[in-house]
């Protein structure tokens, strides 16, 4: 039996999975009376909830510039989702944290994520869900840095000017 793959690349499947979770979560937040977040705001909030508090580290993990992270930070501060205070160990840096008034929305989001995971488990089966969790928990190693080409034979990606 030949199974036609829905996604030609694993990466497109992962992105569609992210969209499934993000759209579902945004729908639940909106239904709960809270304004939705865009994808980059959601990503920053997830990193802060995972304990990543320095903008420079969030920028590195999200692969965005510090300016882009500062823009997202400003949006979330204006929405009173997060606070930004001076880092006591490095006055040039900030520490990001959830604003005190976000307790209700964070609890709703946590319940929403758990509900989405339970829904996905019921749709794809407990074994497939556990397998997906196990695979995503594996250490994928360092990011790949281009083709393995000997130093004397590096190819240009863009034409020389």
Closest CA to 119 of 56, 31, 111: 111
Q: Residue 97 is part of which domain span?
A: 11-134
> 115 lies in a domain?
yes
Q: Per the domain annotation, does 87 fall within a domain?
A: yes
Q: How far is CA 76 from CA 8, 58, 69, 143, in A?
A: 36, 14, 10, 29
Asked, for residue 46, whether it belongs to a domain, the answer is yes
Q: Provide the number of structural domains found in the chain.
A: 1
At residue 154, the 3 state secondary structure works out as: coil
Asked if residue 72 is part of any domain, the answer here is yes
| pTM, entire model | 0.78
Tell me if 149 is assigned to some domain: no
pLDDT in tens, the chain (161 residues): 556 778 889 999 999 999 999 999 999 999 999 988 999 999 999 999 999 999 999 999 999 999 999 999 999 999 999 999 999 988 888 999 999 999 999 999 999 999 999 999 999 999 999 999 999 999 998 888 876 544 555 445 554 44
């Amino acid at each position: 039996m030949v199974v036609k793959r829905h996604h030609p690349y694993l990466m497109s499947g992962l992105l569609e999975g992210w969209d499934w979770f993000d759209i579902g979560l945004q729908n639940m937040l909106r239904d709960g009376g809270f304004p939705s977040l865009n994808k980059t705001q959601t990503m920053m909030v997830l990193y802060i909830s995972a304990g990543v508090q320095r903008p420079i580290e969030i920028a590195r993990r999200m692969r965005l510039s510090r300016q882009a992270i500062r823009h997202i930070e400003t949006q979330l501060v204006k929405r009173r989702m997060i606070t930004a205070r001076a880092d006591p160990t490095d006055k040039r840096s900030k520490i990001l944290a959830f604003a005190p008034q976000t307790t209700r929305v964070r609890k709703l989001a946590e319940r929403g994520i758990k509900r989405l995971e339970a829904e996905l488990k019921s749709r794809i089966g407990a074994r497939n869900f556990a397998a997906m969790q196990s695979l995503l928990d594996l250490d994928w190693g360092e990011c790949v840095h281009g083709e393995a080409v000997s130093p004397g034979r590096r190819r240009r990606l863009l034409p020389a000017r």
